[in-house]
Structure 1
Amino acid sequence: VPAYGGDTTWANLVAAYEGLSEPVRRFVDGLRAEHRLGVGYQPRAGDDAYLRHLLSHQVATLHPLVRVHPETGERVLFVNGYYLERVAEVSRLESGPLLELLLGQATRPEYTVRFRWEPGDVAFWDNRATMHLAPSDTGQLAQPRVMHRVMLRGEVPLGVDGRPSEPITGPPPGTW
């Protein structure tokens, strides 16, 4: 682990959804959003090859903006600034502020936790109900952070209305 920085933050997207007002929850329950690999990726020094890889292996999917957790039945605000392109059912002009509102909600301090890694730490989280981020706070003197990550293949997300995610480009959801 680096001497400083290198933490991971998580946002509880169930709590973020529940923290929305009832009229906003009803509005977003039936909407779908286009998720596109690399949309919000901010290149860092030396990352040109990674960015080229993202753009040349484009995957886009139409996901529910609110998904239903397959085990708990909870409604989950399905947002992530690295992937959200736009809300499908509204104009681009309307989509931008709506996504800004929802991403702002998801990242409010009361819905987030920050984890300071120590050697030997292990962390588990449910990508179906959280989003995570490794903040870029190691400064100009970037130090290596070595991690081993395992991801499990999940179910195709279902919206409140029971409709599954749909591929736009790339392989169908659930096959990667």
Structure 2
Amino acid sequence: MRALLLRDLRLAFRAGGGFGLGLAFFLIVTVLVPFGVGPGAAQLGAIAPGILWLGALLACLLSLDRIFALDWEDGTLDLLATSPLPLEAAVSVKALAHWLTTGLPLVLAAPVLGLLLNLAPQGHAWLLLSLALGTPALSVIGTFGAALTVGVKRGGLLLSLLVLPLYVPTLIFGAEAA
């Protein structure tokens, strides 16, 4: 399982876009929303958890279609299905690799972006805790959606339509907890 995790991490960094794209999107959403909402510090501080959670959700959504796509194309999924490793373990490792390359950088960047949005100092700990608990859930839910759409051409839109309604409870929990 460790070898599969290391392989998925290497693929995420080598394939391009997996690590940096989600983090850049998170940064862009967090920086652009105040331009649309207005520069009021009190207002930004009040909606900062929602902005950060929505940015994290959308950033996680960007890389979901790549969870199984490369393995589907080169036949690795067939090898995983016939290996003695249980499929549940392989899917869990893939979800963990997705979280390590997408969710964890977002969790680590959120406190700095919270400062930019004038998040109250006591809100930083709650935001960090809610993102640390919620982003793995986003990765697991997204992994199920990616598994359903792995063989579909241009399945990214279908994946978004399948996964977004399932993300709503996590978004509500995270924004309210922070």
Query: Shorter-chain TM-score: what band?
Result: under 0.3
Structure number with higher relative contact order (C-alpha < 8 Å, ≥ 6 residues apart): 1
Q: Which has the higher strand share?
A: 1
Q: Which has the higher helix share?
A: 2
